[in-house]
Amino acid sequence: MRRIHTLVAAALTVIVLLHALCGSFLLIGTSRRPMVFLSWLAAALLGLHVAFGLALTGQTWRSLRGRARRYIRLNRDFWLRRISGLAVLILVVFHIGMFGVTEDETYFLLPFTAVKLAGHLLLIAAMAWHIAVNLKPLCLALGCSRPDWQSCSAKLVLLVFCGVAVLAGIVYFVRWQWI
């Protein structure tokens, strides 16, 4: 189960970054094609990732039996991963209805307010935090030969993707407010 979860997490990371990149191009106006397929694929992989995460967390919790207080204190990173994942999950629910609604198979954009911009930026920050704290364990689980170097390189790529997404959100907000 852990091996399948590792592959799902790796695929989800790639799909989410592609979704962020395509969505950024859509927000700044350089693309007119929404990548709906990426959204649905990311949602399916997210569902699997959450299910596996809950199952594995349950296994860990059951194995404690009375040692929970000490375990929580000694395994701060484990719980940071779970908390950051919960933050991402909550913000993804907000993100789903952020940009528009579909009525009679027609998509209508909703005004992009300061609250939505804040939600967009919080989602990017939570996603970056969650991916960053999980990169080294993911590299180890995938059998990377030098996980420290490879996770550091992946964090640089993550930083670029997040920068593009933040810039796109700000450009989109400015266009809604003043153009």
d(CA 9, CA 6): 5
Mind giving me the DSSP string for 21-39?
HHHHHHHHTS-----HHHH
Q: How far is CA 130 from CA 18, 61, 81, 140, 171, in A?
A: 17, 21, 6, 16, 25
Enumerate the H helices of the chain as residue ranges.
2-28, 36-64, 68-74, 76-96, 114-141, 147-178
pLDDT, one tens digit per residue, over 22-77 is: 989 988 888 777 678 888 999 999 999 999 999 988 887 777 666 656 666 667 78
pTM of the model: 0.85
Domains: count for the chain: 1
pLDDT range class, residue 85, cuts 50, 70, 90:
very high
Q: Which residue has the higher pLDDT, 10 or 100?
A: 10
d(CA 91, CA 20): 14
CATH number of the structural domain spanning residue 33: 1.20.1300.10
Q: Phi/psi of residue 104, each to 5°? A: 50, 45
pLDDT, one tens digit per residue, over 108-147 is: 778 889 999 999 999 999 999 999 888 888 888 888 878 7
Residue 88: give the domain boundaries: 1-177
Instruction: Look at residue 73 in the predicted model and tell me its pLDDT.
Output: 63
Rounded (5°) CA angle 86-151-47: 30
